[in-house]
Amino acid sequence: MGFWDEIVGQPAAVQALERAASAEGADELSHAWLITGPPGSGRSNLALRFAAALIAREPAERDAVWQQVRSRTHPDLAVLTTQKLLITIDEAREIVTTAYFSPATGRHRVIVIEDADRMPERTSNVLLKALEEPPERTVWVLCAPSEADLLPTIRSRARSVTLVTPSLADIARLLHERDGIDLVLAERAARLSQSHIGMARRLACEPEAMARRERTIELALAVDTLGDAMHAAAALGKVAEADAAAFTEQLDAVEREEALRNLGVAAGAAIPPKLRAQLRNLEEDQTRRTKRSLRDGIDRILTDLLSLYRDVLLSALGAGLELVNLEHQTRIEALAARWGAERALEAVSMVEQARERLGRGVTPGLVLEALFAGIARQGAESMTHQ
C-alpha cells in the first residue's frame, strides 16, 4: 500500500498535507495545523502520517520513519495525549518545552496534540504562547472533533484541515485490502461501527468484540420492566469491563513489541539502561489509558445503543432508510410499532443525555442505570395512559 493509503475517504486533506510536506510546498507549510473531524474519521492517524512525512528527509525515508512515529519512539516526535477528561496545565507546559529542541535526525520536529479539545482555557493559554513565537523547524499538529472545540485564539494561529465521515464502502475496502478481511464481513463491520475506522477493524478482526456488541443490542431489546433495566445496566457494565480489558491488553502488547523492535532490542533481551526512559514513558501512557478504558467502553456501548434507538425511530417514521442493526430488523420493527415515533425519539434523547453525563465524569454504572431506568419508566407510563 502507498504511504497515505490507510487514510480513507479524505482525498482533499491528504492532498493538502502531502503538498505541505513536499519540497515543492515548503512555502505553504504552516507552523501549526488543526485537523478536525468526527470520531473514527482518522484524525490521529492522519496527524501521525503527516508527522512522518514532515520528519523524513526525503520520500524514500517515509516508511522507515513511519514505523518509529507509529510506536512513538522517533526522537523528532512528541505526542501529547491523555486518558483523563482534561489535559492538565503541567502536561501542556512539558510538551511546550520540547518544542524548542532542534530536530535530531529529521527535517522538522513535530508535536502532535491528540484530543486538543480537552484543553481548558488555562491550558490552552500555555499552548498559545508557544504558537505565537514558534521555533523555525517545529510544526504543531492539533486534533479535535471541530474547530469550535478550541479557543478562537488557537484556531486563528493554525491552518485548518477538515475531515469527513468516511463512506462504508471506503472503510470496507480498506479492511479488505489492508487486513485481508472477507468483503462481506468488512461491509458488516463498517455498517455496525457507523463509519468508525478503528471500531470497524475491531469488529471485523475480533470475534469477541462482535459478540460483545451483539450482547449489547440483545440486552437493550429485552428491557421492559425496571428489573430488566437494572439487569441490563449491570450486564452491560461487565460487557464494558471485558471490552476494555481486551482492548488495552492487546494494544499494550503490540505497542511494547513495536517499541522494542524499533529500539533494536531483541525479544527476551535485557533493556539497556539508556533506553529504559523511553519504555517507561510508554508504560506510563499505557497505565493512563487503562484507567480511562472502562469509560471509553461505556461510551462505545452508548454509541451502539444510540444506533439501535435511531433504528427504532426510523422504522416508526417509515423513513425507508437502511438500518444500522439490520440483523435485528424484525425485532426493531416490532418495537417501533409498539413504541411509536415519540417514545423512540425520547429514547434517543436519553442516550445522548447519558453520553453527556459520562463526559462530565458521572460514574459509568450510574449512567447506565439511569438510562435504562428512564426507558423502563417510559414504558410504564405508556401502559398507564392506555
Q: Indicate whether 174 and 304 sit together in one domain.
A: no
Q: Indicate whether 18 and 138 sit together in one domain.
A: yes
Residue 246 lies in a domain: yes
Q: Indicate whether 238 and 376 sit together in one domain.
A: yes
pLDDT band at 379 (very low <50, low <70, confident <90, very high): low
Residue 338 lies in a domain: yes
Residue 6 lies in a domain: no
Overall average pLDDT of the 224-244 stretch: 90
pLDDT band at 273 (very low <50, low <70, confident <90, very high): confident
Residue 366 lies in a domain: yes
What DSSP letter does each residue of 201-225 carry, written as one string?
HHHHH-HHHHHHHHHHHHHHHT--S
Residue 215 lies in a domain: no
Give the domain-ending residue among 162, 186, 215.
162
**H or E segment to which residue 80 belongs:** strand 77-80
In the block, residue with C-alpha cell 438510562: 371
Give just the sign of the alpha carbon dihedral 272, 250, 195, 308. Answer: negative
Distances (CA, A) of 36 to 72, 170, 336: 21, 19, 35
Q: Which amino acid is at 168?
A: L
* Helix, strand or coil, per DSSP, at residue 266: coil
pLDDT, tens digit, for every residue of 295-312?
888 999 999 999 999 999
Residue 59 lies in a domain: yes
Query: Which of the pair, 256 or 163, is modelled with greater confidence?
Result: 163
Q: Indicate whether 256 and 381 sit together in one domain.
A: yes
Q: What is the pLDDT of residue 286?
A: 72
Q: Indicate whether 198 and 268 sit together in one domain.
A: no
Q: Indicate whether 174 and 257 sit together in one domain.
A: no
Residue 249 lies in a domain: yes
Q: Indicate whether 252 and 346 sit together in one domain.
A: yes
Range of the domain at 172: 168-205
Q: Indicate whether 119 and 69 sit together in one domain.
A: yes
Counting the structural domains of the chain, the total is 3
Calculated CA dihedral for residues 298, 300, 301, 305, nearest 10 degrees = 140
Q: Indicate whether 232 and 201 sit together in one domain.
A: no
6 burial class (0-12, 13-18, 19+ CB within 10 angstroms)?
Answer: middle
pTM (predicted TM-score):
0.78
Say whether pLDDT at 271 is over 90.
Answer: no
Look up the CATH number of the domain holding residue 101: 3.40.50.300
Give the domain-ending residue among 131, 162, 193.
162
Residue 193 lies in a domain: yes
Say whether pLDDT at 221 is over 90.
Answer: yes
Q: Indicate whether 333 and 193 sit together in one domain.
A: no
Number of CB atoms found within 10 A of residue 281's CB: 13
Q: What is the pLDDT of residue 51?
A: 97
Answer for the pair 74, 65: CB distance below 8 angstroms, yes or no.
Answer: yes
Q: Indicate whether 55 and 193 sit together in one domain.
A: no
